[in-house]
Amino acid sequence: MYRVKEAFYTLQGEGAQAGRAAVFCRFSKCNLWTGREKDRANAVCNFCDTDFVGTDGQNGGQFADADALADHIAALWPHASGRPYVVCTGGEPLLQLDEPLIEAFHARGFEVGVETNGTLPAPAGIDWLCMSPKADAKIVLERCNELKLVYPQPLAMPERFEHIQADHFFLSPMASPTLPENGPDPVKQSNTRRATDYCLAHPQWRLTLQMHKIVGID
């Protein structure tokens, strides 16, 4: 059984794959926060602004097996040229994503991308692995295609991850989780300046912005 909060066709908004068409498959649940406001203050990751609780989002639901979920995702991809691409995110997708589901995606022609916090082992077969560490959570992954770090995090500053083998290193300015999505966010404005300054001083790192929010898509 796989539990999915929502699934939708959009453009990848951040990182090295920004601008690429993809079906996002947002799994329910996370191992660093329950997703409920009453638990935020005591969570390992307390700045998340994503709703991953339950299965009531667009195209969300419970799926009995890998083929059922892979068919559901495949139905969201348009009949057009271009390699199908699915991004498994959350919450924490590696609580549910397994080799049978990856194989089912591959059987339908999909490349499989994953956005994980890095605290759980990754199953074989993932085509693009993006790791986004949170606070002082213990990281078990040491290799990824891209490291995307929400910045700044006092317990997860860039220097802590210099040992990670990654093809790309990105800083994503932290937003305030309590402000309306379309309202002004002075916290994010300040953090964008700080992230910019860090990237200028440390050219290994690149700035990434949430393009999907800038252009107003899912």
Active-site residues: which are they?
Answer: 24, 30, 45, 48-50, 115, 212
Q: How many CB atoms lie within 10 A of CB 84?
A: 19
Strand partners, 146: 130, 168
| Cβ atoms of residues 146 and 53 within 8 Å | no
Three-class SS of residue 107?
helix
- Cα 17-21-26 angle, rounded to 5 deg: 85
Q: 54 and 209 in contact (C-beta within 8 Å)?
A: no
Structure tokens at 83: 């390699």
- The tokens describing 120, both together, are 């759980």
Candidates 148, 80, 75, 162; CA nearest to 114 is 148
Residue found under tokens 């800038």: 214
